[in-house]
Structure 1
Amino acid sequence: MVFGNSPVSTGTAEDDVLKALSQIIDPDFGTDIVTCGFVKDLQIDEALGEVSFRLELTTPACPIKDVFEQKANEVVAALPWVKNVNVTMSAQPAKPLYAEQLPAGLRTISNIIAVSSCKGGVGKSTVAVNLAYTLADMGARVGIFDADVYGPSLPTMVSPESRLLEMNPEKKTIIPTEYMGVKLVSFGFAGQGRAIMRGPMVSGVINQLL
């Protein structure tokens, strides 16, 4: 690659791009996106002055992914020898370190948000449902697990076409119902209504649903 009268090697060009991208700091991790390992598939066309790469975030629902994309375009385009920048966005959630300790139904789940309160009627279901559908609108794959077997309220919050959970006979697992792109599991969709049972029995039901 040649800029003006000075030759620019591919190695130097790559260093320039990575140095420019290292100006972008992830506010959650407190370090730059290069150190975080977000920059993938960096390619440089020496003849055309084109740079392309992929930013792989830890969640598709990252609230500042558009900011990352814009900043990445800006800092790389500011390099004097760059004529064109192509940035693509992707996400690869990190696997929890304790994944093997989770129930089988949760081992492939990347992120879990618990909405809980010791008091009833304070809006747990409302918060959970609105949070789930907001994340889904942002591009995340989301499911809601209603762990209340005494008075499950999820069936009153959403109206899926199929209001009964089904069983996969081969895998012996429960198939969630779905509404507007969000998977749903609740004892209220088991066709049993409210449950009257003691603690150990409740734990057994929860484990079966998971």
Structure 2
Amino acid sequence: MKLDRKEILKALETISIAGEGKNMVESGAIQNVLTFGDEVVVDLLLSTPALHIKKRAEVDIIKTIHELVYEKAKVKVNIKVEAPEKPASGASENLIKGKQIPGISNIIAIASGKGGVGKSTVTANLAVTLAKMGFSVGVLDADIYGPSMPIMFDVENAKPLSVEVDGKSKMKPVESYEVKILSIGFFTKPDQAVIWRGPMAAKALNQMIFDADWGQLDFMLIDLPPGTGDIHLSIMQSLPITGAVVVSTPQAVALADAKKGVSMFLSDAIKVPVLGIIENMAYFTPEELPNNKYYIFGKEGAKNLAEDLQVPLLGELPLVQSIREAGDYGRPAALQTATPLEAAFENIARNIVQEVVNRNEFLPPTEAIKITTMAGCSAIKKK
């Protein structure tokens, strides 16, 4: 059988590269198509070296030609990776990383060098704090192997609904405390382990990001898995990340891993601005002695690390029983009013927003952001 080049191009218009909206032909990814009888050679140009994206693109092309053109066609895909050009001086570098998501102004990655430092707890509390300050907020639980957002927001039994947007079926995030949430935990049983390789996990995250109806968001917070691995690389290279926040305890072991986390974001492969470090469990305060501080994990470790790495220290959070209890009950501690915890999370949230504004990254989709100085700190609210 002699294959028709136009017919093949028409078939390839039905697929797109992971993380991109346009089809392969329209986006210019398909550089050339050559046919020789029942053989076809497709030249594909990608902007990311991520192995799972390259493999998925190759599989999609072969499968599509077999299904829509000729099932016995001999297909060869030549993949070339060419990084996009660097932006002109003064332009925002993160805009070239991944496809801009319509309606989402800023994407903040929350990371930790190691597990057990309270990264997810901090993410949940920052989300509700930003929502209380008047921002529209979403949380993507990217901790595929240990999703905890459904529990922390008391929506463990919720399921995202399917809605139609512009003729396409999309997931509608679950909403709790005025925060939109998507997590792999919504699609698995509570006692079910997620045993996936990196490419499958990355594919699931891509679907939760690009196949979801997030609407208008001032901030999307991404709760990353602990450490530095394949999922981090996939997310950093497929999304326009505004900046990263690293959570650590003052303990020397945690700080060593936090340093690696900062190094990952600043590496040539990722190049994401680090907005700062949050010191969690900075000191222990017993409920019956609220004015006492016991530095059981060490003192000012994250502060010293921030100074060494020349990144901001966004704030300190105490180790108190109410934070743990609030997370277990599904009502983040930052929702409590007129408490030291509320003030601590508000201070950190203001510092994060200020860092975003300082980098000229903040692009609110609707209303203006007003920044005023009161009592030595920035109070950020919507007009």
Normalized against structure 2, the TM-score is what? 0.28
Normalized against structure 1, the TM-score is what? 0.48
Larger radius of gyration: 1
Higher relative contact order (CA 8 A, sep 6+): 2
